[in-house]
Structure formats: structure tokens, C-alpha cells
A and B are shown apart, each in its own frame.
Chain A
Amino acid sequence: MTDFYQFFLQSLPNLLNGLGNTFLLTFVAITVGFFIGLFLALGRVYGTKAINLFCLGYIEIIRGTPLLVQLFIIYFGLPSVGILFTPLQAALLGLAINSGAYQAEYLRGSIQSIESGQMTAARSLGMSKLQSIQHVILPQALRVSIPAWSNEFIYLLQYSSIAYLITVSELTAEGKFIAAHTFRYLEIFAIIAIIYLVLTIISTEIIDRIAKRLSIPGIGAAKGVGLRDV
């Protein structure tokens, strides 16, 4: 056991290094992806026919092709037309573009779940369409989309490990590196699995608390009841 502990301590600096990149990939992808998703979702619901078609095209192409293929195109493919990225840049870009398409669909669902009377009431007060969306539709739709968004966050946290395949040294890549030098595959990947597990539990808990704080009194889950309680 002391031997395992020693091994853990020795691996820690590398793992923390990798963890930093995992965090970076997750947070950038979820944030940039959110804004891409928001734009696409609004375009799908409220856009003109041309905008709607453009957004639909983006979503279908991204969701219809594997993330790994998208990363390979960005990292290995684009240099042949003169566009070069570092591995980290390519991974950040790929994950954000990919997450945007998925978040667009969650957001579209939540926007469409808001009763049409809300928009009608906002418009009849004299709000413009944009004001109605900003002050009435989105504050409600974003609350509705928190559970799906929580899923997306966990997904990104874990599947950012795919960036390892374009040589980004995130958590999983560091594990592979250590294992290749020590041949202690079981131990190192057990440690990494536990790190992912703990991070997932913590982030779920945090998002759950956010959902509770933002819940609208009297609706659905009562105050103090979170996502996992219903």
C-alpha cells in the first residue's frame, strides 16, 4: 500500500498538469459551445428561413459525424490547406464546435417548451421580439435546460480525454505516459478513473445547487429540491 501511495505521489505532478488541460478543455468547450448553441437555437426557433437552414445544417453536420473525425480534420487535415493549430488549440476548437451543436438542440427544446402565451404577453406590453426573448423567454428556457446542460458538462469533462488522440496532454494522456514508463497500467488508470469520478460527483453537486437556487418558487421542484431528488 505504501508502494501504491509512493507511486501516486510520484505521478501527481504529471496528473495535475494533465488535469489543468482537462479543465481548460471542459470550461472553454462548455462556455464557447453555450454561445454557439444559443445562437443556433435562437436561429432555429426565431430565424428567417435562410438562418434556420444554416443553423440546421451546422447542427446536422456536427451531430452526424464523430467527434474524433472532426478533431482529426482540424488537427491533421487543415494544415494541408495552410491552417495550422497547436494540439491544444485544435482540441479547444473541435470540442467547442461539437458541444455547440448538442447544446443548440437542448436549448431549442427548452425554448420551445415555454408556453406561447409568454411571448404573446410580452409583445402585447410593447416589447420587441428581441426584448421578449431576452427578458421573458430565455430566463425561463435557460432554467429548463439546466439538467441537460449538467449532462453536457459531465460528458465534456470525460470525453475531453479524446483530445489525447491529437496529442494534447490532458489527464488521460498523462496516465498513458506514466503507464508507458512504469508499466503500472492498472494502478494509474484506476487513479485516473477515481479522479474523473470524484470530479463528476462534485460538478453534479455544484450544478444541482445552482439549479436549486435558480428554481422558480411554486414551480415543478419545490424550493430546496434539486435535480437528483425528482
Chain B
Amino acid sequence: MLHSTTIILISFAYLGLLFAIAYYVDQRADAGRPVIASPYIYSLSLAVYATAWTFYGSVGRAASDGVGFLPIYIGPTLMIALWWVVLRKILRISKRNRITSLADFVASRYGKSALLGGLVTVIAVVGILPYISLQLKAVSSSFTILVQYPEIVMPAEVGAAPIREDTALWVALILAAFTIAFGTRHLDAAEHHQGMVAAIAFESVVKLLAFLAVGMFVTFGVYNGFSDVFARAAAEPALRVMLTPLEGVAGGYSNWVWLTILSMMAIMFLPRQFQVAVIENVDEKHLNKAIWLFPLYMLAINVFVLPIAFGGLLRFPDGSVDADTFVLTLPMAEKQELLALLVFIGGLSAATGMVIVETIALSTMVCNDLVMPVLLRLRRLRLNERPDLTGLLLGIRRGAIVLILLLGYLYFKLAGEAYALVSIGLISFAAVAQFGPAILGGIFWKGGTRAGALCGLLAGFAVWLYTLFIPALARSEWLPIGLLEHGPFGIELLRPLQLFGLAGLDQINHAMIWSMIANVGAYVVVSLAASPSADEHRQASLFVDVFRLSGEAGGARFWRGTATVPELYNLLARFLGSAAADSAFAEYASAKGLPWPDQRLVADADLVHYVEVQLAGAIGSASARVMVGSVVKEEALTIDEVREILDEASQVVVYSHRLEQKSHELEAATAELREANERLKELDRLKDEFVSTVTHELRTPLTSIRAFTEILLDDPEVELGQRRNFLGIITKETERLTRLINQVLDLAKIESGKAEWVDSAVDMKEVISDTLAAMDQLFKERSITVEALLPENVSPVTADLDRMIQVMLNLLSNAAKFCDAINGRVEIVLSERDGCLRVDVRDNGRGISPKDQSEIFSKFHQVGGVLTDKPRGSGLGLHISRQIVEHFGGKMWVESDLGRGACFSFLLPTGAATVERVT
């Protein structure tokens, strides 16, 4: 039954089925009834990660390494846990910016750099070639083996076939045709290939079922369950060591770790994974299901790997059968034809799934990010004139598909025999891992620049080439093997597998360490060395802040230029066709509330941005930029202008802060002014009071002077005694007037600070004695007893002699005036204490009421009472005395009880200490 013809026919039938599914789904999608809006299909499509490598190679690896094959699936599981944030971010960025491929993502992030896009494409293509060759090898090998049924013969023994009969080549060509039919029937603005996704999902189911089938067969059919298999393996000494596989394996654990890390990168950056996970995603919410369904799938497909491996080892102990083939050869050995066929189809399914998606993704990149930018730059004029470019684009893609598959075949021929499947695959993993720093850095670090990404990628890729790619060629003897053993030109330090002496590591580990050091190091250092350009800055913000930005408004703001609507329309029509252009413009116009076509539609920044985004969907963002730029006379915003726009915003904030501050200050100043005004008004009032009081005091004596003068003048017959009396009064009043005026002047001088003070060392004892002597007459006339208690010596005080005399005169005359009428007694005490001189003047008069005590030192205050013809004061004496004492740093006060006399005291500092000034 298993003739080659049968197998070939069934294979074609299967491929036909796939095609039918894809076609059907595409038709429905075109008719507007999409099928793949399902999270389950999304999750299954992600399982394209499991290729023929998984199908055959896992068992192969398990047979030699035990669990060593698992990191390739556990790593992604761990990474997928992070997808909740990381992939979501990438999804959103990609949707917003109409990203069409992995290269487009990188190019767009770093300032829409065509160079970067091209580099990523080259790395991707070169890196994936081993992987593609692996699939070809798997399919052709499995075919060759199956055809030998019931004999079990390894392909290597069959011998190399001539070109025309080379299965692998046929497989390559057939797959190329198939992929072209699948993926390049038309151009989709968003690069969706719904039919392909549906077919892939179907394939994932097929390969899982096939593997589970053979797994269950081996475990429960051939043996009696898991424990049986392992028990039997334990019985074999050669196999027992594998039951504790990590022991004693050189670098066993580090292998595990690096493999995990590698796989974590791969699940994101393999072009096919990026394609199905990001580009083909139709709903962000599907992520929620995929996050656990996909890991579950991987778990399921790996459950039986170990039993199959051990089963194979037990069945084919002499090592004549390649472990990679156990999945197929075990059912064959047990004469299960149908199962073997199913397994073959499963393997075919896994391989075709990988090839289709990977090649479509790669061809898109080659077209959009490698060829188109070059063509646009080289023959710019010609391309601008061409009305319809869709044919060209499709043609480029088809050519790319064929080319990639042929190159894959070439690699297989050159280097495919040297390694086991797993190792080949890991070489590809290491290649796409180089995208990690640039992409992950790109979505989290705004500081990553284009130059940095370029250098990082180049450095990493170079190391990869040197440590993995070249050794593969050397091992297959296309390059001298001496290269590996002695290094280039005999430089041992540069041996590709022990670079700089780092030995003892698995080849993949070794390559990963060095390439990551070079990649990350170059990326970070170069990024930090120079600041980003205006374009890069804008793109960095759009990417890193995608969760914070609302809608697509962010892009249009930073643009300036002139264009016309017809120009933009023609541009879009040229690449997408006039139908697509019409619908795009109609959509835009209706959003603006206008029909299409319409004169009122303005070619503003919004429209240009919109057109660019639509265009990017077809030809990649870098090329779209170039095309739009050629149509629009654009003025590039320099980084300074961008900063200016941003600064303006912050400046407004600062300005308003300052305004607030100023108004606060203004308020404070106004309050101060108001206070000063109040004070001035008060002083004005006081001045008025002063003036009115003084004039009153002046007028009174003047009145009496005038009165008596008139009396004497009018009547010459005034009696002599009366005449004498009146003249006496006139004289006294005149004196009083003079005294008052003098005191007022004195006060004015003292208060305005214009008084002249003659400072000298004054002996208060002398002052008091002199004053008493001067007033002796007055005291005797009034029968006032005077007692003075003056110490022998007192320290001199710094004062004005005349003024101190004035003070003593004032106090003593007051005392004389107010002491008891009959037994008048005045006491003067001079003392010294605490660096001050103290003088007390006591009288035994009627005393001063508390109310008067508080007022007595104020201007014009006079104590009332029974007044006889005592000479009236001005009310200024005490006030002036106090001013004088205070001027020299002293204090004056009064103590009195009604009916028990009064005591006026003052202090004067001798210079040893200062008495507090009383304000």
C-alpha cells in the first residue's frame, strides 16, 4: 500500500484540501463574512510554531538528552505569560501604525528607516534558511523512509540522488507553487491572509492528532502505559542514565537555561510567529484565550515524546535507526501502515505550515522592506510615472518566494547533512534572537536610536554568522575544517567555536553569549552616544507610549507641508488600485462630514497622514514615507522645532505660574499700602489735634494779656494796687506764653530728630544739687521741706547736661506744685544699681489717679484738681522729660496712690548696660 505513487497522491490530496479551505475562507472574507474572528482559530494558528522539527526532532533530541528538548516549549510558555503586556503592546502599536511585517515594525520604530528594514529582512532571510532546509529535509527523508516499507532503511544509506530525482527539490518547488497560490493572489492593505490562517489552524489540528495517535499507540499499544515504558528503560543500563538526564552532562544546566532564553526570543521574533501573532490578529481580545490555549497545545504535543523516544531506543538498540525517525519507524516496525501514513501526513502538515507562513512573511519583507525602497530610490522618476504598481508588487513577492525556497534547498544540500534536525533549527533561533534587543528595547526605551539598532543588529548578526553559519558550512566541508580547529589565519583566539577562549560550551550557547554581548552592547552604547532625530523621537513616543496615546491623532501633529488632494488620491490609487483608493478616501471624507469626491476636502496634515498610513499597509511604512514625501512638498521639522512645540506647552504652564505669583505679590503690596495709608491718616489726625490744642493754649494767655492791657489803657483811674496786680498778671501770662512756645519748639525739635544733643559725661549728683540750689528760693517761699539722699560718688552718665537740668527742673517744679499745701515735702533719692542710675522725686501731695497716671506723660495732659493761682503748665513738661530720658537709653515712670503722694522715677544707663528702650 505504501507505494511512492500512493503516498504522492495522498499528499497532493491533502495539500488540495488545505488549499480548498484557504480559498473558501478567503471568498467568504471578500464577501464580507469573515470566518476567523475566533480566538480558537487564532490560538491554533499560533501552533505553527510546531514544525517538522517538533514532529520528528523532539523525539530525536529526547533520545539523546532526555528532557533536553523541553526548554524549546517551556521557554515560550514563560514568554507567553509576559505576552499579556508585551504582545498587547506590540499589537496595539502595529494596529495604530499599520505595521505589515517584522522588518516594518523595526523600521517604523526607528524613524521609518528603510536601511534598518532592509537589514532586518536580510538577517531574517539568511537566518531562516537553515530552518526551511530542515523542513525540506524532514519531508524528503520521511518520504524516502516510508517508501522503503516494509524495510526500514535510513535515507543516508539510500545514497544521494541526482537532481531530477531529488525529493527535496521537488518538495521545494511544489511548496513554492503552493505558497504563491496561497498568499499572493492579491494585495491586502493590512497584509491579512485569512485563508492562510484558517488553513494553518486546520494543519495544527492534524499534526496534533497524528502525533497523539502515534504516541498513544506506542505507549498503550506497544507497551503497557507510561510506567511500563520507563521501567523497561530503567532495566537497560545504557538507558538508565537518561532517567536523570541533567547529571554529568557537560554544561547541562546552562544548556537548559540558554535554550529557554533562545526559545523565548524565537516565539516572538520568528517571522512566521510575528505574522500570525501580530499581523494576522484581528482582535486584541483573542490574546486572552491564546495566552493559555497555545501553551496547552504545546504541552499536549509533547506528552508522548519521551515514551516514543524510549520505545524507539528499546526497539532499535543498535543505533542503526535515526532517533529523528522514531515517530515514523516505530509504527512501520509494528506493521501499522495506516498509522505510518497518518504520521507522514502529520509531518507533512507540520512542514508545509511552517514553509507557507514563513515564506509569505519573508517575501512580504523582501518586497516591502528590501526591494521596493531600493527601486524607489534608484529609478524614482520611472516608478512615479507608472499608473499601476500592484502587478509589480505581486511579481516581486512571487519571485521572492521561489528564491527563498530554492535557497533553502541549497542550504540543505550544502550543510543539511551535518547536523541533527534540532541543531539546525537552533541556528535559526539564534539568528532571529538578534531582533530581541532592538524590538524589546524599541517598545520600552525611548532612548533607542536608529544608529543603535543598526549597530546592534549588525554586530549580533556578524557574530552569528561567524559562530554558527560558517561552522555549519565548514563541517560540511564547503569551507576548510582547519578554520574550526585553528581559527582564521591560524589565530587560535578567534576560533569560531571557542571565541576568545570561551570553551566548554555547547555551540549554540557559545554563539548566543557572544552575539548577545555584541548586540546589546552596541545597541545601548551607540544609542546613548547620540540623541535621536526628530523622526525617531516622534516614532519612539508613538511606540513606547502607545497605551497612553489616544487614537491616531498623535502622528499628524508633527508635520508641515503642502499637497493637493488629487495628488494624494493618485498616489494611493497607483499602489492600491482606484477602487481601494476610492473607498479609503470616501471613509476619510465621511469622517469629516463630507461626501467623496468633494471640492471642500482639504489636503491638510490629517489627510496626508491618513494616506501615508493606508499606503504603508501595502508597501511598508518606509516606502510609504518616501512616496508621500515625493508628492508633498514637505518641510521637515527639525528636532528643535519638535521640542519647541512641546516646550510651548510647558511654557504656558510656567507662564501662568508666574502670573499667579505676581498677582500674589500685588495683593501683598496693596495690603501694605493700605496699612501705610491708615497710619498716615492717623498721624494727620494727631497733627490736627496737636495744632488745635497748641493754638488754644496760645490763645488763652494772649486773651488775658490783651484783656488787661485794654483795661489799663481804657481806664487811667485804675487803682494803684489793682494796676500793679493786673500788670503782674500780664507779665506772668507773657512768661507763660514764652514758656509754652519754647516747649513746643523744643518738642518739635526733639521729635523731628533735629534737636542738638551735646553728649558729655554728666555727674547726676551735681545736676541734682545744682537744680535744688536754683529752686531753693521757691521751696522756701512755699515752706516745702526738701530732703535729698545723694550717695558720695556715682558713675557718670553719658547725657546732655542742659537737658538733664531741664528734666530735674521739670520734676522738681511739678513736685513743688503738687505737694501738700501746708506741709509740703519733697524727697529726692539718687541711687546706682545694675549699671544704671536711678533718681526718684517724691512729693506728699494728693496723688495721681490711675487714669491720670496712664495719661500723664502724653502731650498737653494736665492733672486737674483744685486750682488756685498756681502757675499753670503747658502739659508738655513731663512728655519732654520722658523723651529726653529715653533718648539717652533710659526709662521714666510714675508711682502713686491717691491721697499718698506721687513718686516720679527715671533710670539712666551708665554705659555698663542698656535699659530697654520704651517705645
Are A and B co-members of a single complex?
Answer: no
